[in-house]
Amino acid sequence: MAVPGAAPQVTRYSPTPGAAKAVHLSPKLRWQLSLVCADIVTVLLAVVATYGLYLALGVGRRHWDPDLYLRVIASYTALTVFALQAYGAYRDELGLLRIEAIKKILHGVGAGVLLTLGVSFFAKFGEFSRLTLVMFGPMTVFALVAQRFVGWKLQARRRNRETRTRNVLIYGAGETGRLLAQHLRDEHQLGLSPIGFIDDNPSLGASEIRVTPGVDGDRVPVFGGEEALDQTLRMTRPDAVFIAMPSAPSSRITEIIRLLESRGVAYFFVPSAGDLLFSTLRFGQVAGMPVFTRRLPSATRFYGVIKRVVDLAGAGLALIASAPLLVLGALLIRVSSPGPILFKQQRVGHDGRRFTIFKLRTMHTTAPAYGRHPTGHDDTRITGVGSLLRRTSIDELPQLFNVLRGEMSLVGPRPEMPFVVDGYDDIQRQRLSVKPGITGLWQISADRAFSIHDNIQYDLYYLERRSTSMDLAIMAVTPFVLLSRNRAV
């Protein structure tokens, strides 16, 4: 009880251990911090393994000064992670097959090597083998790419748990609508799930369309055409509708918009898959009016020279390294089935020029020279040994000779057969503006089991963004893709 005239009692707060308010980080920030920590560990492990390899091979001048190399390794790790941050490796950005993320790794690791060389010179680290530092680069790239593949799988699972999914309808089941559906399913962070198509083509009614890559990809239904739109909106209650009919007349689009607005459904327009794919337009103003212009490919003559040098060096080294596999493959073909070891076929290359492509023969000699692409292991045209060679991609090693001859490149669109090219439209013919490649975006995608020209988005993306770093990124990813998937055909 309070005493009259006494000073008021003040209750003081004494914090108890553990009573401090916890700092809450957003899921995105937590993921970025975990990625930085993972990169530090990965780079450290990569450089230690590289130095062990350097000592084991006995190349260059052998050095073993723990204090010196501790400083070199610590500097390289810190500078490489700093360079990765500077190049945006920890920003979660959209990109086809994550290839832009691999490019940032290449840039960051290259900058890390150069920065460490500079620091070692000015800081006077002492006498150590610069060859080890140069060797750090490829091993670090290999380790970081492997780590990213694992991280992306974990990230996809986390997003599936944490991201609120919004259902969307796509009006238009043509090329543009299908590409949109594929990308919405691929990019989990968007939280947009295509639940169906509306299309005016009556032949598509009550059918299903594949919207994720691969033979066993997810499929969504086509609910019908214009007459079914209102009923479909009531039945599915979508959060938004994407209008993907770039060739439809404006009057038709106006009718669709009126209905969507009357039902209170949000809507978005999607441009043509060929003309506007992957931000190929620039926005600007002329006399105060908005205008668009297409961004042209920015490849330079210098890039062409570097690409040819990389092709010659890479194909030469790859032939030397793969010689035992080529010999083994040739012997297996010789003893398993009658006929030639090499398979030769006319393909269409740069600017429509035809050339002879070389592969190890994987089919019986009775199979027609030109026909549909095999779609599974049960294709009777493929020999027993041929199935093994195709799953491991050993059958494609002779194409390295096509690269040395200048008919193909290590990276580029896959060459098609003449009868297929004869049916190309204007968009598909853009594939012929560069040399075809042994590997490329389509080749490392899950859509490899389907026709090349039916998945033009991969080649268009490459054509408009090709560069030395993109070529190196695709080559860096290719071995992981070959190891992680069971090639069906």
Within-domain flag for 280? no
451 versus 344: which is more confidently predicted?
344
Both tokens assigned to 191: 């939280």
pLDDT at 1 over 70: no
pTM: 0.74
Within-domain flag for 56? yes
The answer to whether 158 touches 34, Cβ cutoff 8 Å, is no
**178 and 138 in a common domain:** no
pLDDT score, position 176 = 80
Per-chain mean pLDDT for the chain: 81
Quick one: pLDDT band at residue 346, thresholds 50, 70, 90? very high
pLDDT at 276 over 50: no
Within-domain flag for 92? yes
* Cα 90 from chain centre: 17
pLDDT score, position 384 = 86
207 versus 116: which is more confidently predicted?
116
Burial-class residue 234 by CB neighbours within 10 Å (0-12, 13-18, 19+): exposed
Quick one: pLDDT band at residue 215, thresholds 50, 70, 90? low
Within-domain flag for 294? no
pLDDT at 351 over 70: yes
Both tokens assigned to 80: 């490489």
41 versus 284: which is more confidently predicted?
41
pLDDT at 236 over 60: yes
**430 and 322 in a common domain:** yes
Within-domain flag for 12? no
**359 and 457 in a common domain:** yes
pLDDT at 122 over 90: no
**84 and 48 in a common domain:** yes
Q: Which of 162, 187, 220 is the last residue of a domain?
A: 162
User: In angstroms, rounded to a whole number, what is the distance separating the alpha carbons of residues 107 and 50?
Assistant: 19
Number of domains in the chain: 3
Quick one: pLDDT band at residue 308, thresholds 50, 70, 90? very high
Residues contacting residue 220 through CB under 8 Å, at least 6 positions apart: 181, 194, 195, 196, 197, 208, 209, 211
**208 and 144 in a common domain:** no
pLDDT score, position 172 = 87
pLDDT at 439 over 80: yes
SS (H, E, C) the chain: CCCCCCCCCCCCCCCCCCCCCCCCCCHHHHHHHHHHHHHHHHHHHHHHHHHHHHHHHCCCCCCCCHHHHHHHHHHHHHHHHHHHHHCCCCCCCCCHHHHHHHHHHHHHHHHHHHHHHHHHHHCCCCCCCHHHHHHHHHHHHHHHHHHHHHHHHHHHHHHHHHCCCEEEEEECCCHHHHHHHHHHHHCHHHCEEEEEEECCCHHHCCCEEECCCCCCCCEEEECCCHHHHHHHHHHHCCCEEEECCCCCCHHHHHHHHHHHHHCCCEEEECCCCCCCCCCCEEEEEECCEEEEEECCCCCCHHHHHHHHHHHHHHHHHHHHHHHHHHHHHHHHHHHHCCCCCEEEEEEECHHHCEEEEEEECCECCCCCCCCCCCCCCCCCCECHHHHHHHHHCHHHCCHHHHHHCCCCEEECCCCECHHHHCCCCCCHHHHHHCCCEEECCCCCCHHHHCCHHHHHHHHHHHHHHCCHHHHHHHHHHHHHHHHHCCCCC
Print burial letters for 391-419: b (CB count within 10 Å at least 16), e (below 16).
Answer: beebbbbbbbebbeeebbbbbbbbbbbee
* Cα 448 from chain centre: 13
Quick one: pLDDT band at residue 283, thresholds 50, 70, 90? low
Least confident of 72-86, 111-125, 384-398: 111-125
**151 and 173 in a common domain:** no
Which range of residues forms the domain containing residue 48?
Answer: 27-162
pLDDT score, position 13 = 45
Over residues 96-122, the mean pLDDT reads 88
Give percent above pLDDT 90 in the chain.
33
Quick one: pLDDT band at residue 190, thresholds 50, 70, 90? low
**154 and 170 in a common domain:** no
Quick one: pLDDT band at residue 453, thresholds 50, 70, 90? low
**202 and 92 in a common domain:** no
Over residues 383-394, the mean pLDDT reads 88
